[in-house]
Amino acid sequence: MTDIARTARPTMKDVAARAGVGLKTVSRVVNEEPGVTDDTIARVQAAIDALGFRRNDSARLLRKGRTASIGLVLEDLADPFYAPLSRAVEDLARAHSTLLFTGSSAENAEREQELTLAFCARRVDGLVIVPASDDHRYLEPEIAAGVATVFVDRPAGGIDADVVLSDNAGGTRDGVAHLIAHGHRRIGFIADQPHIHTAAQRLRGYREAMAAAGLPVHDGWISSGPTTPEHVRAELERMLSGPEPVTALFAGNNRITVTAVRVLANRPAHPVALVGFDDFELADLLRPAITVVAQDPGELGRTAARLLFRRLDGSAGPPSRVELPCRLIARGSGEIAPAA
């Protein structure tokens, strides 16, 4: 029965037969090409309506060479951080009459490659990738074959390609400097796993800010690892105890910040200053309101998509690297002075 259903789909040939015209004439009507009399158009249109015909764009695009589609690979479709990024890419795609394939790499290099190559096999015109792997040489033949590729949020590994980043180090520097300006000297830093580019850059920013202020950094103040609530909680509690507890914390991304807020909420007697990387909704409504270093994920996506479509429109030239600034939003949690 599935077969019947598939066979049931009318093609231009069916329309042509029913309208009593040639195949190409149907094509002309469907594509609104000139050179068909009104009378013929009407006959063809009637046949189209009667059969419920819809042009098969896959076949059309196979013939035409372009597929009018792009692929978006990100870390996790369910992560709110990427939602505005996706939407921005989608908006530009729509403006270019292009459809959007999406997929999550789940922070897994193999899955990223599998997804990306699946998109390439469908002959997407271009790719926007939030890398999960650090080796993208597998994309070389695709890029050589003309697939425009832009990396976002993290740079490509092993190949030279367009990339749009946030100024992770600079943003972190500002955030840590903010804590230092409010009198903190023992500042903890919890970030994502060190092989993730953004995490490494933020760690660099932290070290630079501490060094710029002439402050020492103890190993125990730094934690890089999974962002699971359990791990973050354990690391933070470790930093808050012992002989030299931290008086302030810089949280390396929004999930870490949220866990930190939960942990700190349970020990109101010992206020700890907090600055988090990434803004999040309601940060201003918490008490204290959370000071953050904000990226603009929508702008990341928009910039990447603009770059992509510029390439698709024929722009040549060497790969460009765009770095978007971050913005410190002081709300209170970063202004808490050290207790001691």
Q: Indicate the residue among 55 and 204 with the shorter CB distance to a copy of itself.
A: 55
**Candidate residues 46, 62, 181, 337; the one interacting with a copy of itself per rule CB under 8 A:** 62
Q: Indicate the residue among 67 and 166 with the shorter CB distance to a copy of itself.
A: 67
**Candidate residues 1, 3, 32, 35; the one interacting with DNA per rule CB under 7 A:** 35
Handedness of CA 224, 173, 165, 297 (dihedral sign): positive
Is residue 31 a contact residue for DNA (CB under 7 A)?
yes
Residue written as tokens 């697939």? Answer: 147
Contact status, residue 153 vs residue 300, Cβ threshold 8 Å:
yes
Q: Which does 269 bind (CB under 5 to 8 A by kind): a copy of itself, DNA, none?
A: none
Q: Which of 171, 188, 58, 172 is nearest to 124 (CA)?
A: 58
Tell me the site size for DNA, rule CB under 7 A.
Answer: 30
Task: Give the CA-trace dihedral at 80, 81, 82, 87, to 10 degrees.
Answer: 80
Is residue 62 a contact residue for DNA (CB under 7 A)?
yes
Output the six-digit token pair for 284: 């201003």
Is residue 59 a contact residue for DNA (CB under 7 A)?
yes
Is residue 109 a contact residue for a copy of itself (CB under 8 A)?
no
Handedness of CA 214, 220, 225, 229 (dihedral sign): negative
What span, in angstroms and rounded, lies between the C-alpha atoms of 92 and 301? 9
Is residue 20 a contact residue for DNA (CB under 7 A)?
yes
Contact status, residue 278 vs residue 263, Cβ threshold 8 Å:
no
Contact status, residue 128 vs residue 152, Cβ threshold 8 Å:
yes
Is residue 27 a contact residue for DNA (CB under 7 A)?
yes
Is residue 83 a contact residue for a copy of itself (CB under 8 A)?
yes
**Candidate residues 25, 86, 116, 168; the one interacting with a copy of itself per rule CB under 8 A:** 86
Handedness of CA 298, 321, 116, 309 (dihedral sign): positive
Query: Radius of gyration (Cα) for the chain, nearest Å?
Result: 27
Contact positions vs a copy of itself (CB under 8 A): 1-2, 5-6, 8-9, 52, 54-59, 61-62, 65, 67, 69, 76-80, 82-84, 86-87, 90, 94, 99-104, 117-123, 140-142, 144-146, 258, 261-262, 265, 280-282, 285-287, 298, 314, 316
* Residues of this chain that bind DNA (CB under 7 A): 9, 11-13, 16, 20-25, 27-28, 30-31, 34-37, 39-40, 53, 55-56, 59-60, 62-65
